[in-house]
Chains A and B, each alone.
Chain A
Amino acid sequence: DARVTQTPRHKVTEMGQEVTMRCQPILGHNTVFWYRQTMMQGLELLAYFRNRAPLDDSGMPKDRFSAEMPDATLATLKIQPSEPRDSAVYFCASGFQGFLGYEQYFGPGTRLTVT
């Protein structure tokens, strides 16, 4: 049963620290997404990649967030420096275009708390 994995599942850090979240997409999926969930904004897209190339990162605060896919098995989302307003659940999802359209599967999320 293939799944998207995310590490860490929970992270508590102090303001100003660097945070790195990792995602392992499902093998064979060529698209990877990063979403953020907050009470105020709901679920919003931060960035996504297709065949490891960034397609759109307009949802990310550019000055402090960065997303990369160093290889097909790893996607990273970094925040430097972190701020309390970054506290949220960060979801990674991977997908592919099937016969009937895109299919997308979510990881369990990383719950980030910045104090």
Chain B
Amino acid sequence: AQKVTQAQTEISVVEKEDVTLDCVYETRDTTYYLFWYKQPPSGELVFLIRRNSFDEQNEISGRYSWNFQKSTSSFNFTITASQVVDSAVYFCALSGGTSYGKLTFGQGTILTVHP
């Protein structure tokens, strides 16, 4: 069975603060994929990143960065210099290597960035 845990239900920050969203996962698959999705108030699910289990390199994309650590089964997401437009629900998700891409989602973290 696969499981994704996002322990932070809600986070509130002031604009320009850095914020880290935590994600811990469980899987028995040796090959798997980790994802982050953003769900803004409009409701759509916006793909942010996919990371393969065999690639532990951290990734940076603009103000976004991701820290993947297999040793602790974590895939954390940091937003640097947060902006009001970052306010959304963020989901971490896991797909096992043999599951043809089906996703197991965490419960989501509601991020509110105040001006």
Contacts and interface: CB of A to CB of B under 8 A. Distances in A.
B51 to A, nearest CB: 9
Interface in B15-74: 33, 35, 37, 43-45, 47, 50, 52
Given A33-B102, A101-B33, A89 B52 contact: no
Chain A residues touching B, majority SS: strand
A12 interface: no
Given A106-B44, A108-B44, A97 B102 contact: no
Interface of B: 33, 35, 37, 43-45, 47, 50, 52, 91, 93, 95, 100-108
Interface of A: 31, 33, 35, 42-45, 48, 50, 55-56, 89, 91, 95, 97, 100-106, 108-109, 111
Contacts, number: 57
Contacts of B33: 101-102
A7 B91 CA distance: 24
B7 to A, nearest CB: 14
Contact of A102 (B100, B104, B107): B100
A91 B100 CA distance: 17
A82 B47 CA distance: 31
Nearest to A9: B43
A42 B103 contact: no
Contact of A101 (B44, B52, B104): B52
A60 to B, nearest CB: 13
A101 B102 contact: no
Given A48-B102, A56-B102, A108-B44, A100 B107 contact: no
B50 A106 contact: no
A108 B42 CA distance: 9
A62 to B, nearest CB: 18
A19 to B, nearest CB: 18
